[in-house]
Structure 1
């Protein structure tokens, strides 16, 4: 079962999941979500709707061309779609946005009495020492100092939380990629940053206080520390899923090799195909798991 560690929730007559426009009194959450076994989250609302259509076709339980309703249509913060036992949710960009979403998602799964849930973040990232289009399955999220921790400021004090992800799940996803045999997939550490430009040592932001050599040396240190890609959500995702007792993974495709440049230069068609790779891998994994559970 999903775990919550907040003793004050029991005293609420109605737990309002404000940013989802859902609540324990206004909605029958067990009836709506009690069968959920897989939750896939990603930054873009468009991408998560596309994943819903894709997984519906893959599982043969819906029309891949159907216009699935947004369960969170009453708010403009996040979108949510459901097909079968798969829930698809957008989380926006960056740690604050995904953290808010995860608080309400984990409570939703708890109130819906879901069990044996797997949450997978699918997205894009900048690669380090990898060819563009390579998919990285995260084994551990690290901060910009390459430490495997997420720093949460609570009541003015720093609280450090673990950022390990499920090793068995990561290996299973890697095995699924080998079975698919359509694109390169690796397991590695993922660096989670607070912004897209200076925090990721880019030279093309509005401000830059370091030299190209300093940037390159930093990224080489990251590579030597086992980092294979950079994004902006994995640390809080890993720590919150771990606290909730939920099996979790991060699967991101790399859009460029940061050792060779900062700007994405691939064509729109190539980038579109790259962005489908995490969906294909996770879709294959879900299909395989459902088939196994039905035997």
Structure 2
């Protein structure tokens, strides 16, 4: 994907010799990569990987405006059923997803919901089903740069509750459980590489994860969950099943269901926050009605 800074009059092209007031500056109020400021985004942001998926997310909203597009980071802000909401694409993998969380947190975002695709590794999980992550195996290296490897990648309970409630209300088939996040689409997920290359242990990887009751494999959730937790922010993930690693079936199906579930979850989280304020509670719980 081309860098918009090459064609936009608002940004200079990348390069060591970039000069002038428009050059990228990590100390700017707008993020160095994401290029949004505090007035550009809502408190809750959906995080798909593919920039083209932003259109499929915003198609479900009441209204929206695209507020930034730089590299893989494309951001739009609007409302869903009256609730303020934003979406920022993160590209592929945990390093770029971590940049998005960092820079969005710095402009006031406090809730992150990954909206992605995944491979299912348990029986009874169909292509097009949703997987709502409760926690993640940190088989990516980005979160290791933040905190020791024993630190759990746990989804926020309020976000998980909102995603489950949203999927139930929408009538979508879903599964909850532990996700594995890898740093490689091929070797790191037990697939053969170029010319049939197999990484050490790759032939046993999926079976070992299945035996441990891991539900699915993707590439960003554990970093997003870990970093948000370290910073005291809310995060969760909902992914549509594109591949069934047991049957070998693959179809790009269910991404609109994941996007709608995440959008409704943001609406429900806003209601949760209102209920908490009225009750004087720090955390939403089942005793507080939505």
TM-score of the two chains, using structure 1 as the length reference: 0.72
Query: Which of 194, 208, 214 pairs up with 1:221?
Result: 208
- From the superposition, tell whether residues 14 and 43 of structure 1 become closer, same or farther in structure 2 (CA, over 3 Å): closer
- From the superposition, tell whether residues 81 and 287 of structure 1 become closer, same or farther in structure 2 (CA, over 3 Å): same
Shift of 1:37: 3.1
What is the RMSD computed on CA atoms of the aligned residues?
Answer: 2.9
TM-score of the two chains, using structure 2 as the length reference: 0.73
Give the Cα separation in 1 of the matches to 2:27 and 2:154.
35
Give the Cα separation in 2 of the matches to 1:180 and 1:98.
28
- From the superposition, tell whether residues 127 and 18 of structure 1 become closer, same or farther in structure 2 (CA, over 3 Å): same
Give the Cα separation in 2 of the matches to 1:89 and 1:246.
17
Shift of 1:255: 1.0
- From the superposition, tell whether residues 203 and 248 of structure 1 become closer, same or farther in structure 2 (CA, over 3 Å): same
Give the Cα separation in 2 of the matches to 1:258 and 1:13.
44
1:275 aligns to 2:255 (yes or no):
yes
Corresponding position of 2:285: none
- From the superposition, tell whether residues 209 and 179 of structure 1 become closer, same or farther in structure 2 (CA, over 3 Å): same
Corresponding position of 2:185: 196
Corresponding position of 1:108: 107
1:142 aligns to 2:137 (yes or no):
yes
Gaps of 5+ in 2: 1-25, 276-289
Give the Cα separation in 1 of the matches to 2:60 and 2:194.
35
Residue range with higher mean Cα deviation, 162-171 or 83-92: 162-171
Shift of 1:169: 2.5
Give yes or no for contact 1:150–1:163 (8 Å, CA) kept in 2.
no
Count, aligned residues: 243
1:177 aligns to 2:164 (yes or no):
no
Give yes or no for contact 1:38–1:118 (8 Å, CA) kept in 2.
yes
Shift of 1:105: 1.1
Query: Which of 239, 254, 257 pairs up with 2:241?
Result: 254
Give the Cα separation in 2 of the matches to 1:21 and 1:283.
23
Gaps of 5+ in 1: 1-11, 23-28, 57-61, 63-67
Shift of 1:290: 4.5
1:167 aligns to 2:157 (yes or no):
yes
Give the Cα separation in 2 of the matches to 1:176 and 1:193.
27
Q: Matched residue of 2:184: which SS?
A: coil
Give yes or no for contact 2:118–2:241 (8 Å, CA) kept in 1.
yes
Shift of 1:90: 0.5
Name whichever structure is richer in helix by fraction: 1
